[in-house]
């Protein structure tokens, strides 16, 4: 099972809401989190190697999440589950809530392996994978840059500050994908066409018995301070006098 998150596309200009309560998301394009793409690619690869039977992609969010699920289906996933969360609930949806949803789904679907992106690039939390593993009491291989399924477990090479760490964990397990795990494939036209026919099931958090109340309160969102424009001077003397004026020299 592979979980992906929709987030605001990176190249867009992000605007803070006038009341500083958050970021403007209306009418803004959502895309698949790049680390989630890597996770989907890994899952599809495992299926192609016949090590996994079925790849199910899950996304939690409003109607638009379906698009992201379709992209994953076009990459080779077999079916999708859209957990519908919208409005206020979606704004406060955080790693804890998502991991509860995933844990519930994993039990329901009898999943053997959950692969997530290591973190979402909109909130940079890096918590969902770890929390999901804790809720299920499953081992976790996070920041994976290499994954190999062996007879007695999964060997995971992890990217850590000091270098690389290799661990072996038993299944069922949770993995989170890091940048160097693979290069996600392009969804080719024939697969995009096929994906249209694949099933996406619709589920509500309540059906899974998950309580979405957040324990976090966002106090304020601010833009980073505006970068001051530089100044050009014509001569070195000018430069020195300006530096002196500013008290830097």
Q: How far is the CB of 183 from another protein (least distance, A)?
A: 8
Q: Are strands 200-203 and 79-84 parallel, antiparallel or unpaired?
A: parallel
Q: Which of 23, 51, 149, 193 is in the footprint of another protein by CB under 8 A?
A: 193
| Residues between 16 and 45 with contacts to another protein, criterion CB under 8 A | 29, 31, 34
Distance CA 81, CA 66 (A): 9
Q: How far is the CB of 9 from another protein (least distance, A)?
A: 5
Would you say 215 and 96 are in contact if contact means Cβ atoms under 8 Å apart? yes
How far from the centroid of its chain's Cα atoms is residue 130's Cα? 13
Distance CA 34, CA 46 (A): 19
Q: Across-strand partners of 153?
A: 150
Burial of 227 (0-12, 13-18, 19+ CB in 10 A): exposed
Distance CA 148, CA 156 (A): 7
Binding part of the chain for another protein, among 91-99, 169-177, 188-196, 202-210 by CB under 8 A, reads 188-196
Q: How far is the CB of 10 from another protein (least distance, A)?
A: 7
Would you say 93 and 212 are in contact if contact means Cβ atoms under 8 Å apart? yes
Binding part of the chain for another protein, among 17-25, 53-61, 160-168, 180-188 by CB under 8 A, reads 180-188
Binding part of the chain for another protein, among 6-14, 83-91, 94-102, 140-148 by CB under 8 A, reads 6-14
9 binds another protein (CB under 8 A): yes
Q: Which of 11, 26, 124, 217 is in the footprint of another protein by CB under 8 A?
A: 11
What are the residues binding another protein (CB under 8 A)? 9-12, 29, 31, 34, 186-190, 192-193, 234
């Amino acid at each position: 099972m592979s979980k992906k998150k929709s987030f605001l596309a990176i190249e867009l200009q992000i605007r803070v809401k006038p009341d500083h309560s958050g970021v403007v998301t209306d009418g803004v394009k959502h895309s698949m989190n790049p680390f989630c793409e890597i996770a989907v690619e890994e899952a599809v690869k495992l299926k192609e190697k016949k090590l996994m039977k079925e790849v199910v992609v899950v996304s939690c969010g409003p109607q638009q999440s379906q698009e992201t699920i379709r992209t994953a289906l076009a990459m080779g996933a077999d079916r999708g589950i859209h957990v519908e969360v919208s409005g206020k609930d979606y704004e406060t949806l955080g790693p804890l809530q998502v991991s509860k949803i995933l844990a519930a789904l994993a039990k329901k679907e009898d999943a053997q392996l959950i692969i997530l992106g290591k973190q979402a690039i909109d909130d940079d939390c890096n918590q969902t994978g770890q929390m999901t593993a804790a809720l299920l009491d499953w081992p976790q291989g996070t920041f994976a840059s290499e994954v190999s399924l062996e007879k007695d477990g999964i060997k995971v090479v992890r990217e850590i500050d000091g270098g690389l760490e290799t661990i072996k964990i038993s299944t069922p397990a949770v993995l989170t994908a890091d940048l160097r795990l693979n290069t996600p494939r392009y969804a080719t036209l024939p697969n995009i066409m096929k994906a249209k026919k694949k099933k996406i099931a619709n589920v509500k958090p309540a059906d899974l018995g998950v309580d979405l109340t957040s324990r976090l309160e966002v106090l304020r969102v601010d833009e980073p301070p505006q970068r001051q424009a530089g100044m050009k001077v014509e001569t070195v003397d000018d430069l020195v006098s300006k530096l002196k004026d500013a008290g830097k020299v």
